[in-house]
Structure 1
Amino acid sequence: MSSARKSPVLSKEGDVTIGGVFSIHSKITQPSLSFTERPTILNCTSINLREFRFAQTMIFAIEEINGNKDLLPNVAIGYRIYDNCASTLSSMRAVMALMNGDELTLGNSCSGQSAVHAIIGESESSSTIVLSRTTGPFQIPVISHSATCECLSNRKEYSSFFRTIASDLYQSRALAQLVRHFGWTWVGTVNSDSDYGNNGMAIFLSAAKEEGVCVEYTEKFDRAEPEKLKKVVEVIKKSTAKVIVGFLAHVEMNNLLEELSLHNITGLQFIGVEAWITAESLITPTSFSVLGGALGFAVQKANISGLDDFLVRGFWETDFLCNETSTETSLKTCKASQDFLELKDNDDDVTELRYSTNIYKAIYAVAHALHNILKCSDHQECKSPVLFIALQVVEALKHVNFTTNNGDKVWFDPTGAAVARYEVVNWQRGADQSVQFKPVGYYDASLPSGKKFVLNTEAIMWPGGTKQLPVSVCSESCHPGTHKVLQKGKPVCCFDCIPCPVGEFSNTTDSVDCKKCPEAYWSNQNRDACLPKNIEFLSFVEVMGKILVFFTLLGVLLTLIAATLFLINKDTPLVKANNSELSFLLLFSLSLCFLCSLTFIGKPTEWSCMLRHTAFGITFVLCISCILGKTIVVLMAFKATLPGNNVMKWFGPAQQRLTVLFLTFIQVIICILWLTISPPFPLKNMTYYMEKIILECALGSPFGFWAVLGYIGLLALLCFVLAFLARKLPDSFNEAKHITFSMLIFCAVWLTFIPAYVSSPGKFTVAVEIFAILASSYGILFCIFAPKCFILVLKPELNTKKQLLGKTQG
């Protein structure tokens, strides 16, 4: 390092001295480190107007205190302000100069007293860390106006560090809340590769994850890495995120802005931090096309009485000694800082000064600490300033609590920071087309939850000068009726929207999964609600029900016609020969068989379920018993014609009635047992069809149902066998053939019914059963009674005893 003594750019002697370190120049020429010759003095270039204003504000606050009779009344504050030229190397030289003052070498002893009692600075966190670590062992208080790195909150490492700005812990979390507030779940991030950028971005990424915000890319670069900056720009060009969170110092932001402008990358929504969002240095003829509509958090702007006039005129006339009547000696000072003179009369940035209030507060905080240490009072002068050490200032700063002239309260929390208060500003064009940082909200960590963050969304101007909120998502929101399925290998914000399965629904946006509808409900077509399932049963009003009712009533009508014909012709040989009593009982049971099918139609109830199967079982047994009786009569009648056979006396009318009654009674007993033990009952079947409810009659006891059906089948089979045996009897007893055909049809129908009944779904099960009842009933009616009705109506000449006996003789 050069042995040349580092001199302050601005200084003034006083009873106590406050040091200041600012990046008044933003560029530095690095010396040649050949190690063969002494390094040259660092050459600083490019004046940073904002940092120069910080130095001016520090001087303004000190001069104001020196003129205040109530604060440090007999103590003059001096200052030593150094320029670190935005370089850590230069910053270290400035710190050493502040601590050692004008002592160039150390002899056998030193004063043991720091040249300054407190240091104001620096603006960037990385330089402030160097400053604090260097001064920390000597307990020299450092108060920063804009170093926001959360790492500086560590009191073990930085016990003498304070700041009049909040830690990035609050700003980073507020950034995540801001991004989530506008529904931006897909963002890119760029940060300075420094303590400030890395720590701030780490907190943001953690908070963003909690808020459900996904980060497409995280890039960082240093101001001395132009190649890395180009890589960052390439990543931004290829990305799909429309929102970029820039946790950058204003120097890095300026470099990024220049590169983006060079590549004409516009239309992106930038979210900024206090370090650059209100930096006047970023306003260039092309910058608004890139940063127009940017949103970010800025230090609150406060009006300090008299500061504006001091910055433009007072400073140059009193402290810099550059007025029109300057002497020859003072003009030498002006010429030595010729580049400063270029800023004289420049007032374009004065109205947007924000960090100046933090410097103002820092100076007053030191002054109040000194006021307490020196035991100053309204009526007594302060004690001699040589009697205290820097450590006392550190302890006094921990307890300062005062209100500035403009009404701001100043105090430090346990980490040495001020309370978090930010303005939310938006890059807009004014009426004169100038770039303005318009406040559109605020964040105040001291307020209750729910009131900390306030935004006036309507006042925001978005990129491109529109009022249309930009959209930045990896995947569009899933509408109700769909659910999110994460895309493999991508963040949680990237997903596909899959429709809910049948029977499930989602009624919220971005649903993670679909919920099953309640048992009696089914999802609608859009899958966003559940509707009551359609209840299905065979009703009288539907087409199928009407057709079955028609054939039922037709069967009853035909049965009544047959009965009427038989009644009219009851005394004729044909009717007498066919056992008229059993024939009428058979016709009666047939009409009941037709009518019992009606109990299967309509909404099942507890009574209808018990009635339909029992009525069906009993009426069919009655019907088959009558046919069986007729078959036995035929066989007995034939046996009775044989010589010496008197069998008919054992099966006369009384025995026929008892046989029918006994066989029917057995079925009645089976039905009673079935209804007593486990009767049929109405059931909502929700398993066969998922989308509808089948209202049906459960059998209760399947054994009871199949016992009833089996008994009918047994009688039908017996009747069929007996009729088959009697098929070759003389023609006058040819009713056996008709019975054989009727039983053949009956058995065929019911054998077909069993697999059809088991496999038919829903109301078709009932329809199959009704069809079987009607088909078998029609089979009996037509096979047994149709031929006789034909003779009775169309061939009455055949209805004579002679004709009946003639066939036999023939």
Structure 2
Amino acid sequence: MTTKFHQHVLALVFAVKEMNKNPQILSNITLGFHVYDGYNDMRMTYRTTLDLLYKLHRYFPNYECDAYKNLIAVIGGISSDISFRISDILSLYKIPQLAYASFAPEEREGKQYPLFYRLGPNEAPQNIGIVCLLLHFQWKWVGLFAVDNNSGEHFLKVLEPLLSQNGICLDFIHRVPNEYHWNFSDDIKDLLLDIYIPFRDSKANTFMFYGEPTAFMAFNIFMFLANPQFKEITSFRKIWIMTAQVDFALTSLQRAWDFQFFQGTIFFTIQSNEVLGFQSFLKEIKPYGEEGNGFLKDFWEQAFDCVYSNSEELMNINERCTGEERLESLPGHLFELHMTGHSYSIYNAVYAVAHALHAMYSSRSNHRAMYDGQGAELHSLQSWQVHPFLQGISFNNSAGESLSFNVERETGTRLDVMNLVTFPNKSFYRVKIGRVNPNAPEGQEFIIDEKLIVWQTSFNQMSALSLCSDYCNPGSHKKIKEGEKFCCYDCVPCPKGKISSQKDMVDCIKCPSDQYPTKDQDGCILKTISFLSFEESLGISLASIAVSLAVITSMVLGTFIKHKDTPIVKANNRDITYILLIALLLCFLSSLLFLGQPTEVTCFLRLSAFSIIFSVAVSCVLAKTITVVVAFMATRPESRMRKWVGKKLTNSIVLSCSFIQAGISAVWLATSPPFPDVDTLSLAEEILLECNEGSVLMFYIGLGYMGLLSIISLIVAFLARKLPDSFNEAKFITFSMLIFCSVWLSFVPTFLSTKGKSVVAVEIFSILASGAALLGCIFSPKCYIILLRPELNTREKLTRRKN
């Protein structure tokens, strides 16, 4: 027998005694009980269940034959297989069954068990607790030993998807037989090696064990047979997580063993409270003082390794049991004085049945049927009558805990999280370090106190990592290794423009549009606002040049106005000259609209004003050039061009060419005008404040028209450069338009390839350079004559032909 499980029997005895001593519950009625062993065998489980039902131990299904016992309820068993086998028979007779172990809530093989009650939660809260525990300590690479039966299969079926959803991988899954005695065969070596290999080869530092106590005993034996020194091998020491089914029990044959190998184990148990008087009850038990307890003698002999017999032959082999042995002297794997979770559930099961019976006797509807006036008659009580009262029962046990069955016939969803602390004298102590309660408020479903945990000594009292691959630091991301589980990966630096700000990121992400990655690509930095301002050196330089050129143009205009009656000013249409100078002056000043932070007004004016003013300037240049050509052609005899000589032609050219550009600008501003815009994509570290052209098509149409005028002016001036006229400005105009066209032809590719404030600088430079070309090439020779060589500024000098 497993001596540790005798506490389950003693908990039953203790609870029944408490009920029988309680005058407020079932007064004048004494509860009794039978205890049977299932022997961890299917046939024996069915056999002992039938023994509970029939007095004569002869079975006649569907016939009473006065041999049927008046059984009210059954408490058991310790595993799902035993519980379901018992229920196969009890459900035929509608006898309530109260299971005290924790196992899966789902149906077995499609069967339903409506008469099945659980004194504790099912496995669902435990599965949640396992995942929360692994995530809390960031154990992502875990090995699993599971019992080789239907329960282990169901556990894997439910747990594996949960682990995968939370980024946790199983390094291996090994099955453990659900028995600790077997017949040796040729396969035993393979089985031993199969369990032993993970300790040798696995990179995981965290192992889980799922199974009943018998599977745990078998596991220990397998490890011992594979390597008797396994407990001393430091590299075999792991962080263990064990489920509520494991009760840390060993057989009396393993009494020399201890649990040093499982030091620091974290395990789940059914929530329990300290029951007053239970430990005192255990200490008072003597093997000769308990009549009717057929298991006590065997328990005593196996627990204390003695013989409770008068046989002299046996005395030579073992010591005689004196009956004065103390239960508290036994190591924890043989017996514990502290009430375990399973014993606590059995204790509560007795309370539940007693309170259900009390409710039946107290109800008015059953009062006359159960009493004949002289006392309680139990012969008329049927087990199926207990169900409604058991389902709706609510009571407080002697530990002060309030209990009731929910709609799933369970008494709660809470589990305790415990830590196993071992000692050299083969004893151990359970320390409560947390709890699992899925019904708790959000954020409190899983609570654990790390300070209370005593870790495996090989980890230096620290929580070790359990990973297939090391964490990927910020600035890199995980790349799954081909052919391996997703927990095994390489760390790859983030691509340019992306970051990872946390450890173990699956993929890198882009920064928000107003931020850019740090040098190490582990965070984002706010971009700086960028525009060509008046305060920076480039802006000051350009503004100074623009103002200087505007001043020079004003001085030239003033000079021409002052000397307006001189031949050199009057030549080539004085009014067109004034208009050209005013246009150049406005061109230089319009460049200042491109500086500073863009606003609706500046964006609305800068491009349209620039295009119109420059078109006027180029139109004036074109008019001057055509005037020279027409004047030359008019000198021929009988020429019809004489009627075009004068202001009429030049004014028409200027007005018509300017109005076309004004029309283009009007359509542009009316349909899709320029507006202030923010460009967060062009530059990595800057946010550009710029003027959006609105309609890009209209922008290029206006620019193209101005270019067309410039090319026409250049061609006409080039053709007229050698006309024999002393008043001919075509040579200077040709050179100025050559520079003008070169500037704007260079502007287009530069504009398209430049980003940021450099675009604005290119625009301003093109305006100033082209305007300065016109101003310098056309007017500097005239200013030279007016200011420095006034003697040449006479009609005779200007009209003198070159020989």
Farther off after superposition, 291-300 or 574-583: 574-583
2:705 is paired with a residue of what secondary structure? helix
Alignment pair present for 1:459 and 2:447: no
Match of 1:50 in 2: 4
Q: Identify which of 347, 353, 357 aligns with 2:328.
A: 347
- Residue 425 of structure 1, CA deviation: 1.4
Q: What is the alpha-carbon distance in structure 2 between the residues aligned to residue 445 and residue 627 of structure 1?
A: 87
Shift of 1:193: 1.7
Give the match for residue 220 of structure 1.
175
Confirm whether residue 308 of structure 1 aligns to residue 280 of structure 2. Answer: yes
1:438: how far off?
A: 0.9
Shift of 1:435: 2.8
Q: 1:352 and 1:211, CA in 2 relative to 1: closer, same or farther beyond 3 A?
A: farther
SS of 2:722's partner is coil
What's 1:674 paired with? 664
Q: Show the 5 A alignment for 1:148-167.
A: 148=103, 150=105, 158=113, 162=117, 164-167=119-122
Q: Counterpart amino acid of 1:356?
A: S
Structure 1 match to 2:691: 696
Q: Say which structure, 1 or 2, has more relative contact order (CA 8 Å, 6+ apart).
A: 2
Q: Deviations over 1:225-278 (max 9, x none)?
A: 754354134235433443333222223223434626376554532222233355
Counterpart of 2:80? 125
How do 1:194-343 residues align onto structure 2 when only pairs under 5 Å count? 194-205=149-160, 208=163, 213-222=168-177, 223=179, 227-228=190-191, 230-235=193-198, 237-257=200-220, 259=223, 261=231, 264-277=234-247, 279=249, 287-305=259-277, 308-319=280-291, 341=321
Letter in 1 for 2:277: S
- Aligned partner of 2:591 in structure 1 is 597
After the TM superposition, which of the residue ranges 372-381 and 257-266 deviates more from structure 2? 372-381
What are the residue-to-residue correspondences of 1:170-181 with 2, within 5 Å?
170-181=125-136
**Identity across the alignment (%):** 27
2:418–2:434 CA contact under 8 A, matched in 1:
yes
2:429 equivalent in structure 1: 436
Check 1:365–1:600 CA distance in 2 against 1; reply closer, same or farther (3 A cut): closer
User: For residues 805 and 261 of structure 1, do their structure 2 counterparts lie closer, same or farther at Cα, with a shift above 3 Å needed?
Assistant: same
**Bigger CA drift: 460-469 or 426-435?**
426-435
Contact 1:402 1:411 in 2 (8 A): yes
Segment drifting more, 566-575 vs 767-776:
566-575
Residue of structure 2 equivalent to 1:778: 772
Structure-2 change in CA distance of 1:560 and 1:383 (3 Å): closer
Q: Distance in 1 between matches of 2:713 and 2:383?
A: 123
Q: Is the 8 A contact 1:277 1:296 kept in 2?
A: no
Q: Is the 8 A contact 2:244 2:269 kept in 1?
A: yes
Alignment partners' CA distance in 2, 1:157 and 1:59: 31
Could you say what secondary structure the match of 2:88 adopts?
helix
Structure 1, 420-429 or 140-149: larger mean CA deviation: 140-149
Q: How many Å apart are 1:437 and its aligned residue?
A: 0.5
Aligned mates of 2:83, 2:351 — CA distance in 1? 20
SS in 2 for 1:351: coil
| Matched AA of 2:338 | E
Equivalent-residue separation in structure 2 for 1:789 and 1:216 (angstroms) = 92
With over 3 angstroms needed to count, the CA separation of the structure-2 counterparts of 1:92 and 1:793, relative to structure 1, is same
**Native 8 Å contact 1:73 1:381 kept in 2:** no
Asked if the contact 1:190/1:245 (under 8 Å) is kept, the reply is: yes
Alignment equivalent of 2:653, drawn from 660, 663, 672: 663
Q: Provide closer, same or farther for how the CA distance between residues 380 and 214 of structure 1 changes in structure 2, counting only shifts above 3 A.
A: farther
- Describe the SS at the equivalent of 1:245: strand
> Is the CA contact (8 Å cut-off) linking 1:56 and 1:311 kept in structure 2?
no
Q: 1:356 aligned to 343, 350, 353, which one?
A: 343
RMSD over aligned Cα atoms: 5.3
Q: Distance in 1 between matches of 2:167 and 2:694?
A: 56
Task: Give, in whole Å, the separation in 2 of the partners of 1:804 and 1:597.
Answer: 37
Aligned partners of 1:547 and 1:504: how far apart in 2?
37
Aligned pair in 2 of structure 1 residues 624, 479: CA closer, same or farther (>3 Å)?
Answer: same
Structure 2 CA distance for partners of 1:548 and 1:645, relative to 1, 3 Å:
farther
Q: Deviation string for 1:52-89 (max 9, x for gaps)?
A: 33334444555666666676666666665455554445
Which amino acid counterpart does residue 343 of structure 2 have in structure 1?
Answer: S
Gap runs ≥5 in structure 2: 183-187, 224-229, 301-307, 330-334
The 1:618–1:205 alpha-carbon spacing in structure 2 relative to 1, beyond 3 Å, is: closer
CA shift for structure 1 position 728 = 4.9
Q: CA deviation at 1:727?
A: 0.7
Paired residue type of 2:3 = L
What is the alpha-carbon distance in structure 2 between the residues aligned to residue 577 and residue 370 of structure 1?
130
Alpha-carbon distance in 2 for matches of 1:684, 1:433: 78
Asked if the contact 1:101–1:115 (Cα under 8 Å) also holds between the matched residues in 2, the reply is no
CA contact (8 A) 1:154 1:415 kept: no
* Alignment CA distance shift 1:334-1:685 (3 Å): farther
Distance, in Å, in 2 between the alignment partners of 1:169 and 1:304 is: 30
- Work out whether residues 726 and 736 of structure 1, in 8 Å CA contact, stay in contact via their aligned partners in 2: yes
Task: Output the TM-score relative to the length of structure 2.
Answer: 0.74
Distance 1:582 1:402 in 2: 111
Going from structure 1 to structure 2, the CA distance change for 1:419 and 1:799 (only over 3 Å counts) comes to closer
Displacement of 1:695? 0.9
Deviation at 1:305, TM superposition (A): 2.0
SS at match of 2:209: strand
Report the more deviating stretch, 555-564 or 506-515: 506-515
- 1:795/1:670 CA distance change after superposition, 3 Å: closer
d(CA) in 1 for partners of 2:19, 2:623: 132
Q: Does the 8 A contact of 2:618 with 2:709 survive in 1?
A: no
1:470-619 to structure 2, matched below 5 A, reads: 470-472=464-466, 521-525=514-518, 536-556=530-550, 558-559=552-553, 586-619=580-613
* Structure 2: distance between partners of 1:433 and 1:718: 108
- Cα deviation per residue 1:616-645 (whole Å; 9 max; x = unaligned)? 455445545555565566567767888x78
* Equivalent-residue separation in structure 1 for 2:353 and 2:583 (angstroms): 116
Cα offsets for 1:68-118 (capped at 9, x unmatched): 667666666666545555444554554455555565799x99543249766
Partners of 1:760 and 1:437 lie apart in 2 by 72
Q: In 2, Cα distance between the equivalents of 1:722 and 1:155? A: 101
Which segments of 5 or more consecutive residues in structure 1 lack a partner in the other structure?
1-24, 26-47, 324-329
Name the count of aligned residue pairs.
751
1:727 is matched with which residue?
A: 722
Does structure 2 retain, via aligned residues, the 8 Å contact 1:177–1:211? Answer: no
Task: State the partner residue of 1:36.
Answer: none
Give the Cα separation in 1 of the matches to 2:532 and 2:729: 38
Q: Report the Cα distance in structure 1 between the residues aligned to 2:551 and 2:351, rounded to whole angstroms.
A: 114
Contact 1:597 / 1:773 at 8 angstroms: preserved in 2?
A: yes
Pairing of 1:414-425 with structure 2 (within 5 A): 417-425=410-418
- Cα distance in 1 for residues equivalent to 2:371 and 2:398: 18
Q: Which amino acid aligns with 2:415?
A: Y
| Distance (whole Å) between structure 1 residues aligned to residue 488 and residue 510 of structure 2 | 25
C-alpha distance in structure 2 between counterparts of 1:751 and 1:164, whole Å: 90
Q: Does the Cα contact within 8 Å between 1:720 and 1:744 map onto a contact in 2?
A: no
